[in-house]
């Protein structure tokens, strides 16, 4: 079993405080299309495609402006101040409005760092970045899946989770699984959705047990809790979650997912 991990890139102050990649063009695939393209590839094929996408500039705009991390250390009685610059989130591929965090092996991570004149964070740097983050998440391990389905379902847990998605009406609940009626309007809501002015929209996602995540609805007025209504086809199964998007395209918070089955 090989470990996969998410990377943040470190750039020294002598370089431009912006990730040195080509500008993204509209011809590059968004996350949903890219997921379908790579989900059945071998690890070697997938990593080759991910490298090509990064080098072509298929990285969201909000990741390109680097964030400063300032630390102080006393050595032999002298106080030193160090500042380095990091990507504001883990590396994602796609556009500002359609992007997805991508797991990769250490070999690919180092290759990307080398080509962008960056460094991979040390364990000590990781602690410093976590301490400086305005919205620190909970670190959890991921294991490799050639189809990336496990990651597609669980990617939300590395972002701050606030509350859980609620579905109604339900036929019954079985060990945490919500059973829904087919061809009926189902309200999918996030009662604890953030309501700050920086949040421009809440998107609700269905990640089926086989397939890529799909947006099932968007709520742009979440001041009293976000919700959408959706009609599911019989046999649908998977996970529902929601994400809050900021004005610059970044995600700020996510809802804990709920598993559904439609009869």
Confidence of residue 206 (pLDDT cuts 50, 70, 90): confident
Place of tokens 């690919």: 108
Higher-confidence residue of 25 and 224: namely: 25
Higher-confidence residue of 164 and 27: namely: 27
Higher-confidence residue of 6 and 72: namely: 72
Q: Look at residue 4 in the predicted model and tell me its pLDDT.
A: 44
With 0-12 / 13-18 / 19 or more C-beta atoms within 10 angstroms meaning exposed / middle / buried, residue 180 is buried
| Whole-Å CA distances, 232 to 86, 167, 237, 244 | 41, 12, 9, 23
Q: Does the structure show a pLDDT above 80 at 209? A: no
The pLDDT of 72-76, averaged and rounded, is 91
What 8-state DSSP symbol labels residue 194?
Answer: -
With vertex at residue 141, the alpha carbon angle to CA 139 and CA 143, rounded to the nearest 5 degrees, is: 155
Confidence of residue 3 (pLDDT cuts 50, 70, 90): very low
CA dist 82 and 73 (Å) reads 8
191, 225 in Cβ contact below 8 A? yes
State the maximum Cα–Cα separation within the chain, in Å, rounded to a whole number.
71
Class of domain 160-262: mainly beta
Q: Look at residue 134 in the predicted model and tell me its pLDDT.
A: 62
Looking at the chain, the whole-number percentage of residues with pLDDT higher than 90 is 29
Buried b (16+ CB within 10 A) or exposed e, 82-116: eebbbbbbbbbbbbbebbbbbbbbeebbebbbeeb
**Chain centroid to CA 181:** 30
215, 203 in Cβ contact below 8 A? yes
Domain span(s) for CATH 2.60.40.10 in the chain: 160-262
Phi, psi of 161 (to 5 degrees): -95, 130
Confidence of residue 20 (pLDDT cuts 50, 70, 90): confident
Establish whether the linkage from the previous residue to 11 is cis, with ω within 30° of 0: no
3-state helix, strand, coil in the chain (%, to 5): 20, 35, 40
């Amino acid at each position: 079993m090989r470990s996969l991990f998410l990377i943040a890139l470190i750039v020294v102050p002598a370089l431009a405080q912006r990730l040195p990649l080509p500008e993204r063009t509209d011809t590059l695939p968004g996350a949903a299309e890219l997921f379908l393209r790579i989900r059945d590839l071998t690890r070697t094929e997938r990593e080759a495609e991910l490298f090509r996408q990064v080098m072509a500039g298929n990285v969201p705009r909000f990741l390109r402006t680097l964030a400063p991390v300032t630390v102080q250390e006393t050595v032999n009685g002298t106080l030193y101040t160090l500042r380095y610059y990091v990507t504001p989130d883990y590396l994602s591929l796609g556009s500002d409005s359609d992007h997805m965090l991508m797991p990769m092996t250490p070999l690919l991570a180092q290759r990307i760092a080398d080509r962008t004149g960056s460094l991979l964070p040390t364990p000590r740097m990781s602690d410093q970045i976590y301490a400086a983050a305005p919205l620190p998440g909970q670190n959890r391990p991921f294991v490799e899946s050639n189809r990336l389905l496990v990651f597609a379902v669980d990617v939300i847990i590395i972002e701050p989770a606030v509350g859980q998605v609620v579905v109604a009406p339900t036929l019954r609940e079985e060990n945490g699984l919500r059973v829904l009626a087919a061809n009926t309007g189902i309200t999918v809501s996030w009662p604890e959705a953030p309501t700050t002015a920086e949040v421009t929209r809440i998107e609700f996602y269905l990640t089926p047990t086989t397939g890529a995540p799909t947006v099932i609805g968007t709520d742009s007025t979440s001041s009293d809790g976000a919700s959408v209504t959706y009609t599911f086809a019989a046999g649908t199964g998977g996970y529902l979650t929601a994400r809050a998007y900021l004005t610059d395209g970044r995600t700020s918070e996510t809802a804990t997912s709920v598993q559904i089955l439609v009869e």
